[in-house]
Structure 1
């Protein structure tokens, strides 16, 4: 475990896309952190990128909540995500199965207002090209299958591609997405702090 923690800290500290700088003008996206898990937050529509072909109001318990201005995207193990609405519901066996890479994955999408910048919400201004690369990465993560209702009125789960494991966590996926966009981020970011420290 100590070796894993050390490797995560080192991987998070070594930057990819070293020369990247925030764009003076462009699209503002956000990384938000709940202490264990990071999400990427994008506008509902920007630079010709919209999501209504994948993400529909009728997928929500309350379709009116689809009027929100932003979408929060998170990726992870299907069994853990669907059965752990709060951290009080964490089951050690479920965690172990997820870390072993034993299950399928899902994309969790929440319809939210624009985040307020703070310790748990960092803003990143991307050029139009960077933004389109980020959106393409997210779109490429969506898989097959019918959407499932989320924890509340304004979120839903979608089938996803890729395997979750000890080495490819939800936070590592966030780092992958940012690197794919061309943003400076750690080469391996298994922990939320390893993502957030760059912004």
Structure 2
């Protein structure tokens, strides 16, 4: 009996490892196939251009956006979402940019970095959840592109489409939650999180909705950031 249990356990373990390897290979392959293949960024400083950033902490990706951007006949203002009163220290709201990303509630709250990743949280997120959040941090504009912050220069219509996608992820009337530090907060969001629809897949889908060239499926941070130069 013990021998049979041990053999069954080995088979389950082998199947799990193969599943993980298959998921990783599929994610890398999907992230290498472009959507909006003909897209090219605007030149920095071009009239009407909007500079945004894709950021990554090695687990989660998201966007760095100007709090207010406007042009002829349009204006995108995030201050109604990024409210000073939701911060542990409202003075951070003086910064002119926000970092914003989407993800599963427990995964977001319990995994600020790799040191906090656990099999329990990974399994719960992979199974799927309708409990999702937007993470909003008040920050100054990045000064230069880096491995963790990739600059993208958008046309006004591209930025408006990106903003519309992000807005659609916010839950109307959702409550705020305290963030990791004094300059950030979480907000109730919409959307179903799963192994197929991760926070990084959300970032890729938002870029694709804007018309930006990005992978077909972007479940991992690298499958998002690889499309954009680390440094000019």
Q: Identify the TM-score tier after normalising by the shorter chain.
A: over 0.9
1:161 pairs, out of 190, 195, 201, with 190
Mark the CA change 1:85 to 1:21 in structure 2 (over 3 Å): closer, same or farther.
Answer: closer
Structure 1 runs (4+) deviating above 4 angstroms are none
The answer to whether the 8 A contact 1:97-1:103 is kept is no
Out of 24, 29, 32, the residue aligned to residue 52 of structure 2 is 29
Per the normalisation by structure 2, the TM-score is 0.82
What does residue 9 of structure 2 align with?
none
Correspondent of 2:111 among 66, 84, 87? 84
- In structure 1, stretches of 5+ residues that fail to align are none
Structure number with greater CO (CA < 8 Å, separation at least 6) is: 1
Superposed counterparts of 1:126-141, under 5 Å: 126-141=154-169
Structural mapping, 1:99-138, within 5 Å: 99-115=126-142, 116-138=144-166
Offset of residue 103 of structure 1: 4.6
Gaps of 5+ in 2: 1-19
| Cross-structure match for 1:8 | 27
**Residue 64 of structure 2 is aligned to residue 41 of structure 1:** yes
Instruction: Report the count of equivalent residues.
Output: 199
Distance 1:12 1:155 in 2: 29
- Separation in 2 of the partners of 1:119 and 1:194? 13
Counterpart pick for 1:62 among 89, 97, 107: 89
SS at the partner of 1:28? strand
Aligned alpha-carbon RMSD (Å): 1.2
Which deviations, in whole Å up to 9, do the C-alpha atoms of 1:7-31 show, x marking residues without a partner? 1111111111111110132000001
Tell me if the contact between 1:39 and 1:72 (Cα under 8 Å) persists in the aligned partners.
yes
In 1, are the aligned partners of 2:133 and 2:188 still within 8 Å (CA)? yes
Tell me the equivalent position of 1:150. 179
Q: In structure 2, what is the Cα distance between the partners aligned to 1:119 and 1:55?
A: 26
CA displacement, residues 102-157 of structure 1 (integer Å, 9 cap, x when unaligned):
35100000111112311121100000110111111111100142101101110000
